[in-house]
Amino acid sequence: GAGWEERAPAEAPGPARGEYRCARAYPSSGASLGLGRRNVHTFRNLNSRFDYIAGAVYFFIVVSALPRCDGVDAVVEAASLPEAAWELARAALRVASGLFLESYVSLCAILVTFAVCLGFASSGGVGAMGDPSAAAQRSPELQGNSLYIRARLGGGATKFVCALLHCMAHVMLATTLLVLLELGVQTLLRHQKLGQEGYHAMYRWYRAYEAEAFADPAGLRARLERWTLGLYPGVLRWGMTLFDVPDLIAVARAQLCQGQAVSRAAALGYYAGVLAYYWVLATPSVGLLFGAYLYVAVNWMGVHYDEAFSSLQIPDYKGFLRLHVSPAGDLEIFSLALDRVPRTWREDPRWRGLRGGGGAGAAPSWRAALPSRWAAVRRQGHHTLLADQPEEQVRVVDYLKVPRRRDA
């Protein structure tokens, strides 16, 4: 609800002006801060469809930097953990600078990401107050230099800075994840000898094991290959290739880094394989970053209230207003709150009775003693019992009375 206070301007006579101040908040400030913190660890769980968009955007941000033929060896050869972290940060910065200076596809993806961040900041109230006037700057709400105040001032400049920081956080996270993925591939190449046997290594191993363990003196396998026109063992070979994605990535990566010609099918398999593994890294990370952004925006900056609360998909904490005009002509405004919304409903049999609003010859709903057709219920074992009804839980958060203007 909002408190209302009449103030007459001192500089000129005339009707009194109304100045609105926040007198009550629902939910309370403490409850709202607690709800805002949930975005950090529950955003991705509650918004799983966000993964499809975020994973694709992150991959297009870094696709121009694939493969990383140099830069990750220094991380592997680091003598200590702090040195490895420093080399990892340097590698990520080099990738990010290359995206801005050398790429085309990735740069377009970054610009799209920035545009989305800018639109999101604009819709969330960042810089919504613009540059306040000298009189407005003296109001209590604008006193101080806290981030909570500055985030809502400045207009387009504040929106641009907020969107730029948000976008760069995504870019740096995407490049760091790429370096980590390349680091894993480089480690397998160095210690597990991955990709040294070329394509279809798993299939060749299987054929060698098959020839050793299952003798075929009658030449059944050769005849089966002729009878199926090569479907056997062709289907088996390509099927095993699909399950040997790390080897496919390693072989194609080695060819690309050496400047060798790579077929379109091999390049497509390489990028698809990298996407599969990168998706696993990117989707939880971008959900965590976006949830952290909403947490900072709500708890520290005082913006993005609607987005942060709707992302939690909480059906509770309903607030609404009811207006009443008294017989004297005064306007009464009741700010009502319902902490918990019932989850299960059934038709109230009393609604079709004489006191209800749905029976034959019943009074209008606004006069009926039981105007609601549905009643809240709760399940207890195999039984369905009546629960506390919403009208019994509604409470008044704030009350405002606007007196009728009585002309002299």
At 18-33, the pLDDT tens digits run 566 677 788 888 888 8
Say what the pTM is. 0.77
Note the pLDDT of residue 14. 42
Higher per-residue pLDDT: 79 or 291: 291
Domain containing residue 335: 316-340+395-407
Within a domain: 43: yes
Shared domain check, 355 and 399: no
Higher per-residue pLDDT: 372 or 165: 165
> Model confidence over 217-265: pLDDT tens digits?
777 777 877 788 777 877 777 676 767 777 777 778 877 888 788 888 8
Least confident interval from 154-163, 290-299, 332-341, 362-371 = 362-371
Q: Average model confidence (pLDDT) for the chain?
A: 82
Shared domain check, 271 and 354: no
HEC letters along 65-97: HCCCCCCCHHHHCCCCHHHHHHHHHHHHHHHHH
Shared domain check, 184 and 68: yes
Note the pLDDT of residue 113. 96
Note the pLDDT of residue 259. 79
Higher per-residue pLDDT: 182 or 363: 182
Note the pLDDT of residue 211. 73
- Answer whether residue 389 shows pLDDT above 90: no
Note the pLDDT of residue 5. 37
Shared domain check, 152 and 294: yes
Long-range own/partner contacts, residues 142-148 (CB < 8 A, 24 or more apart) = 147/300, 147/301, 148/300, 148/301, 148/302
Least confident interval from 1-15, 102-116, 351-365 = 1-15
- Answer whether residue 16 shows pLDDT above 50: no
Higher per-residue pLDDT: 10 or 44: 44
Note the pLDDT of residue 362. 74
Residue 282 binned pLDDT confidence (cut-offs 50, 70, 90):
very high
Within a domain: 236: no
Q: What is the CA radius of gyration of the chain?
A: 32
Shared domain check, 326 and 288: no
The alpha carbon dihedral of 291, 293, 298, 303 has a sign of: negative
Note the pLDDT of residue 191. 67
Shared domain check, 303 and 158: yes
Shared domain check, 320 and 181: no
Note the pLDDT of residue 193. 66
Within a domain: 301: yes
Is residue 399 a contact partner of residue 332, using CB atoms and an 8 Å limit?
A: yes
Residue 15 binned pLDDT confidence (cut-offs 50, 70, 90):
very low
Least confident interval from 12-16, 137-141, 225-229, 239-243 = 12-16
- Answer whether residue 407 shows pLDDT above 90: no
Within a domain: 384: yes
Note the pLDDT of residue 9. 39
**For the chain, how many structural domains are there in total?**
3
Within a domain: 120: yes
Nearest to 176 by CA among 273, 99, 249, 253: 99
Shared domain check, 124 and 92: yes
Within a domain: 377: yes
Shared domain check, 99 and 77: yes
Note the pLDDT of residue 6. 36
Question: Which residues 6+ apart lie within 8 Å of 166 measured at CB?
Answer: 117, 120, 121, 293
Q: What is the pLDDT averaged over residues 45-62? A: 90
- Answer whether residue 129 shows pLDDT above 90: no
Within a domain: 168: yes
Within a domain: 226: no
Note the pLDDT of residue 273. 85
Shared domain check, 386 and 269: no
> Model confidence over 164-219: pLDDT tens digits?
999 999 999 999 999 998 888 888 777 666 666 667 676 777 777 677 777 777 77
Shared domain check, 182 and 43: yes
Q: Where do we find the tokens 């509604």?
A: 394
pLDDT > 90: what percent of the chain? Answer: 27
C-alpha span between 314 and 311 (Å, rounded): 8
Shared domain check, 320 and 305: no
Note the pLDDT of residue 336. 93
H or E element that contains 332: strand 331-338
